[in-house]
Structure 1
Amino acid sequence: MHIDEIYIENYGCIEKLHIKPELNEQGHPKPIVLVGKNGSGKTLLLSNIVDSIIEFKRDKYSELQEVSENKFYKIGTQTYIKVGESHSYTRVRYNNGGKKYYYIDCMTQNHTHFKNSIFNSLIHSDLEIDNEKFKENGFYKKAKPSFEKEFDTNILMYFPVHRYYEPAWLNQNIAPSFKKEDNFIEKSNKNVIKTNILNEVESWILDVILDKFLYEQHNQRFSNLFVRNEHGGYTEFTAPIFQDYSGKNTTIQNLINQIISTIYKSKDDNIENARIGISNKDRGRQISILTKFKNGSEIQVAPTFNHLSSGEALLLSIFCALLKDFDSISKNGTNNLDQVKGVAVIDEIDLNLHIDYAKNVLPQLMKLFPNVQFVVTSHSPFFLLGMKETYGNDYQLINLPTGEDIVENDFSEIVSAYRIFTKGFDELHSSLKSLEQKISVTTKPLIVTEGKTDWKHFKRALQYFQEEGEYTDIDVSFFEYEDEIEMGDSHLESLLKNMSKVEQNKKIIGIFDCDEANGKKYAGLDFKKFKNNVFAFSIPKPSYRSTHTGISVELLYKNVDIQKTDADGRRLYLTSEFNERGRLLSDINISVENTDKVKKYIEVDKNKIIDSGVTDGTNNIALSKNSYALNILNKTAPFDSVDFEGFKGVFDKLKIILDIPLT
């Protein structure tokens, strides 16, 4: 069963929307992802789908779980008619094996005007225009024909934004318990709207495991073994008995483990699978989660479901709830997840999920249920990227409020955004590992700089001064790295904070430029002292940059040295050398390609370094900052004679920090 049409006009912010859900080549419903800005009608659309399900239930059952006293789920109020219009109309059509079912919801402020001037029997199909109540009060709501066995063979579920779980730290008694669901004629014991689903799922799992142990255990014995003895006869050895389990609940437990494994294997490539466990009775019958690694070891990662992260809890609860509800209606048992069928509506499906879970896990979990039609909303570009990678073209991306299908041919911007978010964590981890290795092989204080060029300048400047007999008491090592390490302003800050969390037997000193966020923050201090012998400071301005707003390491040199030209005629440029149109003041035939680089910084006291995108009309004539630093470090002419006077402030601060006793 699946939705095969959604048509809405003049409802809330939606003027006209027509969605035609599709099936893939295997005949499975394609997932539908609804996107759009806040206020674009995503939740309004979902509310109509949910209301349609409840109205079909109302026709079948005399008592409903979703609404009190069998009131309507969605209040009929003409305030939802789009401003400037006199009516609204909604149609949701279901298809179950070729049989069609319709939900119609219509409101009008003037029935006569609607009937005579607006009503179109082709567009407003299945609307009984002359229905007496509709003529009287302007409201029409109907679900037809009646569902017969559709609720007995399909799951129809809605997961609102306020689906939640109870965390382990909450001071409430939340122990799971065995629950019995009674069935009565004309009474629905299932609620389409799923909230607090984790506790319900946990109770259900307890039932599954209990039934497995009670009814599905089989004792088997290997054939007895006869061994020839020394007297020429045979001695019989009784084979051991082993326990085996088979049956509906054993299969369900395996399917639950399949869902859990999908979640946890994404966290660590070394995880082979994950499974549920259950504690002894004296520990309160708590369900735990264990992961097994490829080396054969197994550990408990969550002593109870309530120790899961919010993201893990929501993923586990949603997808186990699908299995739970289908298991309750499946008379022949459920052997595979692809047997689960129906419709699952999920608002903000990526809620509380880390971007890796949204991108890599959520689409994989959805794909475990190919016969469930997912209708979901999302604000996450990472989830969309994961859907594209997992489903290819076998899902529908629909933009609201207009309802057009979006065909994303180029996900490069989403890919870039994902890399930006994940790259920082990976690079910090890599930097920490490299720094730990460096610390382990040096006994000297370690200097960590912002950027791969800074350490080159400081190293050469210290060599120069010591050759001149100055700063000979500074004996340090530099963390020397190239492109394999990313060490911007924020990376260096994170690195120092992480290093300060553990004991260090030598000083670790971070040096920032004073032109970015953290560098500017530390510029007002002599230095920052973290814990465990970790320090930080910003490069002080030399006297000839005293009025400058912020400087990078290159501005410790005087302009004449910054503007030195290499053997290929390339050099660094200062923004003050250009006019607002990006033309070089001394030669208008030379320009910078990106004028935004210079517009805000053409004043001398706001100078920035330009090391790319400067052209003479044919070639780039700018020298990269790294090439400039290497020329100075290697004393390549004419960079073998530069003035290092501006670096004295850096080494004066270093001396102060180095004189502080180790803690």
Structure 2
Amino acid sequence: MKYSEYIKQIEIDSLWSGKRHIVWNLDRKVNILSGINGVGKSTILNKVIRGLSAGGEFPSHMLKGVRLTVEPEDARWIRYDVIRSFDRPLLNLDAVGKLNTALSDLTTELDLQLFFLQRKYLDYQVNIGNRIIASLQSGEADAALQAQQISAPKTTFQNLIDDLFSQTGKKIVRTENEIRFSQIGETLTPYQLSSGEKQMLVILLTVLVEDQQPYVLFMDEPEVSLHIDWQQRLIDLILTLNPNVQIILTTHSPAVIMNGWADCVTEVSDITD
């Protein structure tokens, strides 16, 4: 399976019932789609995402009229994640009841995302733990340095979360395998966080568990529930955790682009003919 490093171009025929042809040439790092409500920002993202299989194979699954150009051009797979912004109540409570957790803990869609991310986080820790052991047992002169570099992204993630949540006194409990927080002597689960804290945790956990591989992060209005300071830092935080990610997002918030990302903004009208 040959994976692409990033998407170079998105082309969509007939976005709206035979009208509006979309050609969007993408930056390697950051791409921000803007426009008024109803102009088609989310529709463009959704048409691309719906054409990607669960494993990321795309040429045979793309919707009719949707074409992707990737780098390298002969790649047929894409590593990707999708983050949406809505902290809506869970509708399918019967499905949640079958999960190995207290039903009362999971009340919103963000809670469910956090539940599955916790599982990925455990797998991620096992993976880097095995790599650290292999490095230390290699006998190489710089084995200790290699081990430190392997664990660095996880430490960076923990430091970033502690910094973001510092005003409310929350800190990640670093002796736990699952994510837990301490606050004034009390231990909290992620499901006890505020909506904004959950949203930021979902975003940064999603980025972390991709283990710094090249992949595409689709985000549809991720700023909802986030404090304006967090909106301003969002893109930088993601790139700090994984410099190999390609970000493709829609937004209504000027704050998201305020830290030097204005040149990465594309209006829907600019890519439509």
User: Scaled by the length of structure 2, what TM-score is found?
Assistant: 0.69
Q: 2:6 aligned to 2, 19, 23, which one? A: 2
SS in 2 for 1:57: coil
2:251 alignment partner AA? S
Question: Which residue identity is paired with 2:42?
Answer: T
Aligned to 2:268: 400
Q: Distance in 2 between matches of 1:251 and 1:310?
A: 31
Shift of 1:21: 1.3
Q: Which residue of 1 aligns with 2:137?
A: none
Distance (whole Å) between structure 2 residues aligned to residue 207 and residue 372 of structure 1: 20
CA offset at residue 165 of structure 1? 9.3
Which amino acid letter does the alignment assign opposite residue 18 of structure 1? V
Deviation digits for residues 614-639 of structure 1 (CA, Å, limit 9, x no counterpart): xxxxxxxxxxxxxxxxxxxxxxxxxx
- Contact between 1:278 and 1:287, CA under 8 Å: does it hold in 2? no
Question: In 2, distance between residues paired with 1:203 and 1:370?
Answer: 23
1:200 has 2:116 as partner? yes
Partner SS state of residue 54, structure 1: coil
Q: In the alignment, what sits opposite 1:346?
A: 219
> Which whole-Å CA distance do the structure 2 matches of 1:287 and 1:165 have between them?
22
State the distance in 2 between where 1:375 and 1:54 align.
Answer: 18
Q: 1:34 maps to what in 2?
A: 33
Q: How does 1:233-248 map to 2 (within 5 A)?
A: none
5+ unaligned residues in a row in structure 1: which ranges? 23-28, 61-71, 77-88, 102-146, 176-193, 218-244, 280-284, 292-298, 328-338, 405-663
Structure 1's 246 and 358: CA in aligned 2 closer, same or farther, altered over 3 A? Answer: same
SS in 1 for 2:9: strand
Is structure 2 residue 268 aligned with structure 1 residue 376? no
Partners in 2 of 1:255 and 1:300 — Cα distance?
Answer: 27
Partner deviation per Cα, 1:334-390 (whole Å, 9 max, x = no partner): xxxxx4211111111212212221123x1221221222111001111222224x2xx
CA drift at 1:392: 6.5
2:81 is matched with 157
What percentage of residue pairs aligned between the two structures are identical? 19
How far the C-alpha of 1:248 sits from its partner, in A, is 7.1
When residues 278 and 207 of structure 1 are mapped into structure 2, their CA distance, relative to the original with a 3 A threshold, is: farther
Supply the AA of the counterpart residue of 1:34.
L
Within-5 A mapping of 1:251-330: 251-252=150-151, 254-266=152-164, 268=166, 275-278=172-175, 287-290=179-182, 303-324=188-209, 326-327=210-211
How has the CA–CA distance of structure 1 residues 397 and 256 changed in structure 2, closer, same or farther, with 3 Å as cutoff? same
Paired residues of 1:359 and 1:383 also in contact (CA < 8 A): yes
Give the partner amino acid of 1:277: R
> Over aligned residue pairs, what C-alpha RMSD do you find?
4.2
2:129 pairs with 1:172: no
| 3-state DSSP of counterpart to 2:205 | helix
> Which string of whole-angstrom CA distances, capped at 9 and with x for unpartnered residues, describes residues 217-243 of structure 1?
8xxxxxxxxxxxxxxxxxxxxxxxxxx
Structure 1 residue 17 displacement after superposition = 2.7
Superposition misfits of 4+ residues, deviation over 6 angstroms: 163-166, 210-217, 245-250
Larger C-alpha radius of gyration, 1 or 2? 1
Q: Which has the higher contact order (CA 8 A, sep 6+)?
A: 2
Pairs within 5 Å for 1:352-363:
352-360=225-233, 362-363=234-235
Structure having the larger proportion of residues in helix:
2
C-alpha distance 248-314 of structure 1, shift in aligned 2 (>3 A): farther
Of 75, 84, 95, 2:71 maps to 95
Deviations 1:264-305 (A, max 9, x none): 424559x9x9544355xxxxx8631359xxxxxxx6686211
Does structure 1 conserve the Cα–Cα contact (< 8 Å) formed by 2:223 and 2:231? yes
How many residue pairs align between the two structures? 241
Note if contact 1:52-1:92 (Cα within 8 Å) is conserved in structure 2.
no
Q: TM-score under structure 1 normalisation? A: 0.31
Contact 1:349 1:378 in 2 (8 A): yes
**CA distance in 1: counterparts of 2:89 and 2:126, whole angstroms:** 23
Are the aligned partners of 1:160 and 1:195 in contact in 2 as well (CA < 8 Å)? no
Counterparts of 2:237 and 2:267 in 1: how far apart (Å)?
A: 23
Contact 1:197 1:318 in 2 (8 A): no
Q: Secondary structure at the match of 2:258?
A: helix
Q: Matches of 1:163 and 1:247 in 2, distance apart?
A: 39
1:380 and 1:311 map into 2 onto residues whose CA distance is 15
Alpha-carbon shift at residue 9 of structure 1 (Å): 3.9
| Structure 2 counterpart SS, 1:40 | coil
Deviation at 1:313, TM superposition (A): 1.5
Q: Secondary structure at the match of 1:33?
A: strand
Letter in 2 for 1:2: Y
Query: Separation in 2 of the partners of 1:316 and 1:256?
Result: 13
